[in-house]
Structure 1
Amino acid sequence: MEFSISGSSLKTLSRSITCLARIGNELVFQSSPSQLSLHTLNSSRSAYQSITFKPDFFDVYSVSGALVQCSVLLKAICSVLRTPIASIDHLNVVLPDSDSSKVQWTLECFNGMRKSYWITCNVEPDIQHLSLDRRKLPSSFVVRPRDLNRLLSNFQSTLQEITIIATQLPALPLDAADEVGGKAVELRSYLDPTKENDSSLHTQLWIDPTEEFVQYTHSGDPVDVTFGVKELKAFLAYCEGCEVDVHLYLDKAGEPILMAPKFGLDDDGSTSNFDASLVLATMLVSQLNNGGNSSQPHPTVANNRAPEQQGTKGNTCENPSDHTRIWSELSGSAVRDSTSADRRVIRERNQNTNDQGTTIQRIDAMNISLDNTGITKEHVLSQRHRSNWVDADEEDDEGDETELYVESTPPYL
């Protein structure tokens, strides 16, 4: 295998390597006379990215044999591309044969300098190939990377997973639509219910696809997918650098989500000499209607009020869900914190302590006692109580009863 590349194609290749490095650690080359494929898989096997280049993408491209493949570390290739792209005339990559132990990378700079690197091929490469038919994913939308980044800026930068909920556009005239009538897509931050003392901000954002998206396709019941934010932002940066829109394909919770650049008028990238795809695993359990309770309508269609958030810091860690599996559990890198029998004992204890006749609402198989404000009724002092105010000491006889009290800053919302 041998190829030479320069100009704008070299910039695209550099962006591709940068994006692949944000997904996985190992880069696999699969070279055939018809195309060159670069793909990587992350360590938890929940994200797979593939970028394919056609022969006319390169200045020179040649392959000896039907298929040549090798695997190298992405860290080593990133070290090669530390040289500014603007100072590189062209790049040559040579793999003498499929059994070679090293790949030679040569940079020819405009100042006459030549830099040569020999990158060692992995002895036992982990070569994977994933094929996912885009036509079998019923829901999809096309969005400009800058617009989606603007929407994601409403969420905390430390957010690990995000949920996208897609519903059918209401068949209403524009003058008859209410505040939520046209907002058929919701972005919702996912917070791990097993984390203790989690005071992270929970954000829900309703979107009108006709205003924010280039295209939107969905019919039937609402569907949702929950996946990682890190990989999404990496792919958005890649598409924004290539000046193309992003096409997202999704099915339902538990099924993978596919992202690909949107080239021209075609969905398969036939108008471009390169193509890319990112496949992310999604959580098995749906986040719709608070864990599958179909008695509550989806707020983007029937209501114009956002669902009330569950209030205190401690209630989620004391009531783990039977069905929720966090992102690390999908990859097998985390151990379940309790068995199903333990969770049944916790739920029975919560039912016995509900002695004030309040309403029980089922959320992700967790029994949580709610009052009219949607806050769990535990032995938690209200932040408006005088015991939470400064200078509210009952033993202080010198204070005037008419003295103003200053409320202390609450530790959480």
Structure 2
Amino acid sequence: MKCIIPSPNVKVFARAIHSLAKIGDELYLVPQIDGLALRTINSSRSAFTSFLFNPAYFSVYDEQKTSDEVPNCKIIMRRAVAIFKSISQVDRMVEAACIQIDPSESQVRIELRCKFNVTKSYVVPFLEADTVKAQYDTSESSNHLDIDSKTLSSVFDSFLQNQEEVTMIASPGEFKLKNFIEDQDEMSRRHAVSTVFTMKIPEFQSYAIKETSHVTYCLKELRSFNGFAEAFSLPLSATFDVGGKPIVFALSHEGFYEAALVMATIDENSATDPIPVNTGERLLSHVEPPPKASTQREPKPGKTSHLTPGVTPILAKEPLNRELLTPDVMAEMSMDQGGIWDIEGNEETVPRSPPSKKARVVFKRCFDATFYPQNMTAATRVLAPDSDDDDES
């Protein structure tokens, strides 16, 4: 397929690519008998956009169809945007654009013929081919409306830039557009910003609503699509039915090109109801008060306790093996535990405070273990004869 876009129409082609780039990451070029189609789909597969440029839009359009199968030419969107990066510069410098699709070599050749005999050539390879197409029938929809793109753009300015979804409430006598807030807890709903925009019927170019519909759809894709229509002062038409069925936005320009945006909607009947919040009195009425904690500690099995009125009971210690306690060990325990031990190994019932660290440093020898010479064994005794007198020497 080979086609040549004249200078006045290059700007329209470049703006269409920029509009598609805000929706999807991949660009499909599909040559057909009735013109060249540019398509894309968003990452969540909930929005599909298609631009169809009729043969009258081109100065030269040669499909060169060799088989009944339509070639799937998919390229990276960023590379297409890089070719038509600046729309103002393209409108000022480019005199013609030549696009040639070669399925045998799996590549697209784009030439920009600029002023002063300057030609820019680009070769973009194909990605893995697949088919993307949206199936919808607008004749079965019961609701239809037409609105000016500039009016719709002023409506979008009332919402936050990061608003993802909006809910359209269309009735025979009134039209409302409000931001969609997902089911959250009561605290989050109170702090959420709620925006409702009401329009009168005379503000529409045509308004045919047979039944009231609540339709929730994405706002980001519609902003991009409406931006293209606003740039060329084109009206926007919407065809829809009820929530859960697709909504179709369309535009056209004198038989030269046409575009459609198909978006999935949320079914209002499938939305989950918020969880009711019970009052604190009702919740507490079914809960028994916890038992009061006892102020006295129960003795463990095998232990005895002496209870005195007004005194917190203290568990008695297990009896110690007196045979294993030497005077050195008892002296060390008296310093570590703060208790007073007598020579027989009986523990006094009145504890005393441990000695201060300063006393241990100054009177270090006082806290050493007592030395008992009778406990020394014979092996440790040194046997030596008495020294001779000086007179004998």
**What is the TM-score when the length of structure 2 is the normalising length?**
0.66
The Cα shift of 1:273 comes to 1.7
Do residues 250 (structure 1) and 240 (structure 2) align?
A: yes
The secondary structure found in structure 2 opposite 1:68 is coil
The secondary structure found in structure 1 opposite 2:36 is strand
What does the per-residue CA deviation read over 1:309-351, in whole Å, with 9 as the maximum and x for residues that have no partner? xxxxxxxxxxxx636xxxxxxxxxxxxxxxxxxx9xx64xx34
Q: Distance in 2 between matches of 1:107 and 1:129?
A: 29
Whether contact under 8 Å (2:15, 2:228) holds in the other structure is yes
Do residues 27 (structure 1) and 37 (structure 2) align?
A: no
Q: Distance in 2 between matches of 1:42 and 1:226?
A: 17
Residue 115 of structure 2: which of 105, 110, 116 is its match? 110
The secondary structure found in structure 2 opposite 1:43 is coil
Residue 231 of structure 2: which of 231, 241, 246 is its match? 241
The secondary structure found in structure 1 opposite 2:109 is strand
Number of residue pairs matched? 275
The secondary structure found in structure 1 opposite 2:98 is strand
Q: Distance in 2 between matches of 1:64 and 1:154?
A: 48
Q: Distance in 1 between matches of 2:279 and 2:137?
A: 50
Counterpart in 2 of 1:213?
204
Residue 227 of structure 1: which of 206, 217, 220 is its match? 217
What does the per-residue CA deviation read over 1:197-223, in whole Å, with 9 as the maximum and x for residues that have no partner? 46331011221121x211101123x11
Whether contact under 8 Å (2:252, 2:258) holds in the other structure is no
Do residues 3 (structure 1) and 7 (structure 2) align?
A: no
Task: Provide the identity percentage.
Answer: 24
What does the per-residue CA deviation read over 1:168-218, in whole Å, with 9 as the maximum and x for residues that have no partner? 12xxxxxxxxxxxxxx101111112248846331011221121x2111011
The secondary structure found in structure 1 opposite 2:80 is helix
Where do residues 285-324 of structure 1 align in structure 2 (5 Å cutoff)?
Answer: 285=268, 322=272
Whether contact under 8 Å (1:6, 1:59) holds in the other structure is yes
Structure number with the higher helix fraction is: 2
Counterpart in 2 of 1:81?
84
Whether contact under 8 Å (2:239, 2:249) holds in the other structure is yes
Whether contact under 8 Å (1:145, 1:240) holds in the other structure is yes
Whether contact under 8 Å (1:94, 1:105) holds in the other structure is yes
**What is the TM-score when the length of structure 1 is the normalising length?**
0.63
Counterpart in 1 of 2:96?
90
Whether contact under 8 Å (2:30, 2:71) holds in the other structure is yes
Residue type of the partner of 2:140? K
Q: Distance in 2 between matches of 1:20 and 1:186?
A: 27
Counterpart in 1 of 2:46?
46
Whether contact under 8 Å (2:183, 2:272) holds in the other structure is no
354 and 3 in structure 1: CA distance in 2 versus 1, 3 angstrom threshold: farther
The secondary structure found in structure 2 opposite 1:151 is helix
Counterpart in 2 of 1:272?
255
Whether contact under 8 Å (1:94, 1:104) holds in the other structure is yes
281 and 255 in structure 1: CA distance in 2 versus 1, 3 angstrom threshold: same
167 and 16 in structure 1: CA distance in 2 versus 1, 3 angstrom threshold: same
82 and 111 in structure 1: CA distance in 2 versus 1, 3 angstrom threshold: farther
- 5+ long unaligned stretches in structure 2: 284-393
Q: Distance in 1 between matches of 2:181 and 2:281?
A: 25
- 5+ long unaligned stretches in structure 1: 170-183, 264-270, 292-320, 324-342, 357-413
After superposition, the CA RMSD in angstroms is 2.2
Whether contact under 8 Å (1:72, 1:121) holds in the other structure is yes
Do residues 259 (structure 1) and 249 (structure 2) align?
A: yes
Q: Distance in 2 between matches of 1:68 and 1:60?
A: 20
Q: Compare CA radii of gyration and give the structure with the larger one.
A: 2
Whether contact under 8 Å (2:248, 2:263) holds in the other structure is yes
Q: Distance in 1 between matches of 2:195 and 2:163?
A: 10
The Cα shift of 1:352 comes to 6.5
156 and 276 in structure 1: CA distance in 2 versus 1, 3 angstrom threshold: same
Whether contact under 8 Å (1:247, 1:262) holds in the other structure is no
Whether contact under 8 Å (1:71, 1:127) holds in the other structure is no
The secondary structure found in structure 2 opposite 1:235 is helix
Do residues 125 (structure 1) and 125 (structure 2) align?
A: no
